[in-house]
Amino acid sequence: MTKKTVCMVSYLLPIGWIIAFLAYKKNSRSSLAKFHLEQSFGLATLGVITNIVFTLPLFIDPDFITLLLLNNMGLVVLWMAGLISAYYGVRLPLPLVGFYFKNKFRFIQ
C-alpha cells in the first residue's frame, strides 16, 4: 500500500484501521501515515465515548435523542474532514479536537 492509501484506509471502519495499521507496521512507515492513524483512532475513540455519554440520558428522557443525533452529525463532519485531508495527503488536524490526538497513542510508532 502507498502512504496515501494507508492514510485513507485508516478512516474506514475499525477493520480498515487495522488493515492500515498492519500495512504501516509492515512497510509504509511515514509521518503522514502515522499522523492519520492517530487522528482516525482518536476520532473513533471520541465517537465511542461520546455515544456512550449521550445514550445514557435516553433511559431517563427520550427527548435526549436530539443531542445524540447532533453528536453523530458532528462526528460525521469530522470524519469527512479527516478523509479529505488524507485524500489530499496533507497533515491537517481534525477541527476542534485533532490537536488532542497528536502523539497521544504510543503504540503507533
pLDDT digits (tens, 9 = 90+) for 50-98: 999 999 888 888 888 988 999 999 999 999 999 999 999 898 888 888 8
Q: What is the pTM of this model?
A: 0.84
Cell of 92: 491537517
- Is the four-CA dihedral 86, 91, 97, 102 of positive or negative sign? positive
The mean pLDDT of 39-45, rounded to a whole number, is 89
Contact (CB, 8 A) for 17 and 37 = yes
CA dist 27 → 1, 3, 30, 100 (Å): 8, 9, 9, 27
User: What is the CB neighbour count within 10 angstroms for residue 45?
Assistant: 13
Contact (CB, 8 A) for 100 and 46 = no
User: What is the CB neighbour count within 10 angstroms for residue 10?
Assistant: 30
Cβ within 8 Å of residue 64, ≥6 positions away: 54, 57, 58
Cell of 35: 499522523
Q: Can you give the residue ranges of every domain in the chain?
A: 3-101
Band (pLDDT 50/70/90 cuts) for residue 24 is confident
